[in-house]
Structure 1
């Protein structure tokens, strides 16, 4: 097997395990706080659960650019291993937490040392042939989405089978094995001497330099908007499904199905649309996918049955499957040499920001105009983003310094 394919396969597995590990606690976090930490007040449990879950994304948003800077200087693989082995250790420690603030501190530490995903994307982009870039980006994305979908499901099954604490030990072990596989099998051609000889600039200076490239700014905005639009209605989905379903029977099942069906179609579509982008160009796939995603948010505000919501959200996932692979391929194209990892880290930071801001803003908007308004606001913002992308990325005749 060609080395780039080995890299892609190993990192697909790594992406799956990392994202599954980060989302596996979602189904049982409240119960974990109640049964193992002795919390009894429902408001206190809900508050701690929200803070603990968000803590990972807050520190990830802050520290991703630093790891990107170091990856451009010392190599992507070493940053990938730093993150993988570090998160494996932190995950095991979560199983020993005795107080809620212990779990919060460890989740924040996990976000601080994270960086497996942007390092994986940067490494794959650096080792994959140009004519296979879209397919490779789609595969990496599908691994992340598969982990995000399966994480809560696996976590729920394990919680019933072995209890809460052993889940952290199992997840940490799997992350260690994934990192060990990457250490032994993944190869990177990185000229460290050349990287060290290049002028060294701070994280802030790097951001200023990258932000002066309008194409990259627009692409970072796409990543933020994807997560913002997806996460803003997510906490409200169970209530919306309850409104549509009209009965408590199988409510949890339908709410979970509605929440995961977008990720399922995204996982299927990402490699396929990535392959299409290799043939017709990432700009075209990005443009169509962005408009399609914006359109798919509109009918979600007007559905009358749960099955209608399922169909629309499945279609939404197909369009989303063309967005992140195209964004990653185009970031590689427009980024100056020697700053690839930094660009992907800034992009990962915008994703984490969307994860944090989305639910907060969605809750505020729903308080004013209902959850239907959340879908419509997301559609409007995506349309605006599409016009921005069309103006600075798709509308440009010259592709980039790399084209």
Structure 2
């Protein structure tokens, strides 16, 4: 098996384990806070919001630092640093006795996180150019698959073994993913050449990459994608309740609506990645943005749960072509030797979108409702498609287009 194919298999499994492990915690986080002694509903909600956001806040600032180090000392090293580090921190979360300890550990976890961007960077730097779309699309499906099954597994385990042991199980998942990367991932990296490169500050590095105007454009595309996708996410269970009513099956239906997008995303990502290798990632990205935008419109007018599921399934199909296409284009326009730094800035943009989307969407929902949020997401994605058309439909110069041998 070629090195890039072996890397793809191992990193796909690693991404799956990491995302499954990380999202196992999501369904019971408020209940764990209650177990730590916080009983007032408002206080639980406040602590829950702070603890959930803490990971994204520190990740936003830390990712460019790790990206710079990865370009200097190797992507595999950053992969292992993140994987083993997060495994330890998440195990420690299971020993927390107060929410402030959990908050602090989430901040540390965000600071040392980066398994996914390191995996993308390593994959992009060690994959033939003509296979890039397929490889990154397939890698994306591993992340999505883990994020789909993680909450389901976490919810079931919480019933069987309680909350604290799930942190230990999550730590084992991350440790296992890191071991797989340690023994099986092969990286083509010239450490001597990389160390000789002049050191650059984070700001200077961003300014240097910004000389290629397509890169800041792609970072803004990622930010808008995540903002549009997540602005309605916390409101979906309430919308399901509004459509279906309160009964014993409500939790199941809410879970299905949340999962159906991920399932279709997981199916579509490799297929659209392969298509981007044939017709170009710009075209796939534009089609995916417009298709996702249009799929939000029927969500604002559904009258039953099944119509909502169908609309969310279609949304997931188009989502499968967005971030992998962005990642393929980032690799194209990034100069050789700066791949990790470039992907780290995109990871920061993704974290910012993850953080701002639910917060602003939740705040606006009081005025425009979830149906208004759906239409807002539609408008944002259409603006994003126009931005892609304006900034990315250019022929890359010989200085910026790279190829991987």
User: Quick check: TM above 0.5?
Assistant: yes
Matches for 1:345-384 after TM superposition, within 5 Å: 345-384=344-383
Secondary structure of 1:128's partner? coil
Matches within 5 A, 1:335-346: 335-346=334-345
Tell me the equivalent position of 1:129. Answer: 128
**1:64 counterpart SS class:** helix
In the alignment, the residues of structure 2 paired with residue 205 and residue 336 of structure 1 have an alpha-carbon distance, to the nearest angstrom, of 15
Partner of 2:252: 253
Aligned to 1:11: 11
Q: Which runs of 4+ in 1 moved over 6 A?
A: none
Q: Displacement, 1:237?
A: 0.9
Counterpart secondary structure, 1:200? coil
Question: Which residue is equivalent to 2:23?
Answer: 23
State the distance in 1 between where 2:159 and 2:368 align. Answer: 39
**In structure 1, distance between residues paired with 2:142 and 2:376:** 29
What does residue 318 of structure 2 align with? 319
SS at match of 1:81: helix
Once the 2 structures are TM-superposed, how far is the Cα of residue 402 of structure 1 from its aligned partner? 2.3
What corresponds to 2:191 in structure 1?
A: 192
Q: Distance in 1 between matches of 2:339 and 2:331?
A: 6
**Shift, 1:212, TM fit:** 3.5
| 1:44 matched to 2:30 | no
Given that residues 75 and 340 in structure 2 are in contact (C-alpha distance below 8 angstroms), is that contact kept between their aligned partners in structure 1?
yes
Structure 2 distance, partners of 1:210, 1:306, is 46
Residue 76 (str. 1) matches residue 45 (str. 2): no
Alignment of 1:136-155 (within 5 A): 136-155=135-154
- Aligned counterparts, 1:2-401, within 5 A: 2-35=2-35, 37-394=36-393, 396-398=394-396, 400-401=400-401
How far does residue 293 in structure 1 lie from its aligned partner after superposition? 1.0
Q: Distance in 2 between matches of 1:398 and 1:38?
A: 57
Kept in 1, the 8 Å contact 2:37–2:98? The answer is no
Cα separation, 1, equivalents of 2:226 and 2:388: 17
The 2-side partners of 1:342 and 1:98 are apart by 37
Question: Following TM superposition, by how much is the alpha carbon of 1:31 offset from its aligned partner in structure 2, in angstroms?
Answer: 1.3
Q: 2:177 and 2:238 mapped to 1: Cα distance?
A: 37
Distance in 1 separating the partners of 2:127 and 2:396: 23
TM-score, normalised via structure 1 length: 0.97
Deviation for aligned residue 1:389: 0.6
Partner Cα distance (2:106, 2:16) in 1? 19
TM-score, structure 2 as length reference: 0.96
Q: Select between 310-319 and 210-219 the one with higher mean Cα deviation.
A: 210-219
Question: CA 1:388–1:19 in structure 2 vs 1: closer, same or farther (change >3 Å)?
Answer: same
Question: How many Å separate the matches in 1 of 2:33 and 2:311?
Answer: 35
Unmatched 5+ residue regions in structure 2? none
Once structures 1 and 2 are overlaid, which stretch shifts more, 210-219 or 90-99?
210-219
Unaligned runs of 5+ in 1: none
| Distance across 2 between alignment mates of 1:197 and 1:220 | 28
SS across alignment from 2:27? coil
Q: 2: distance between equivalents of 1:303 and 1:212?
A: 45
Deviation string, structure 1 residues 275-310 (Cα, Å, up to 9, x no partner): 111112111111111111111112211111111111
Say if 2:334 and 2:342, in contact at 8 Å, map to a contact too: yes
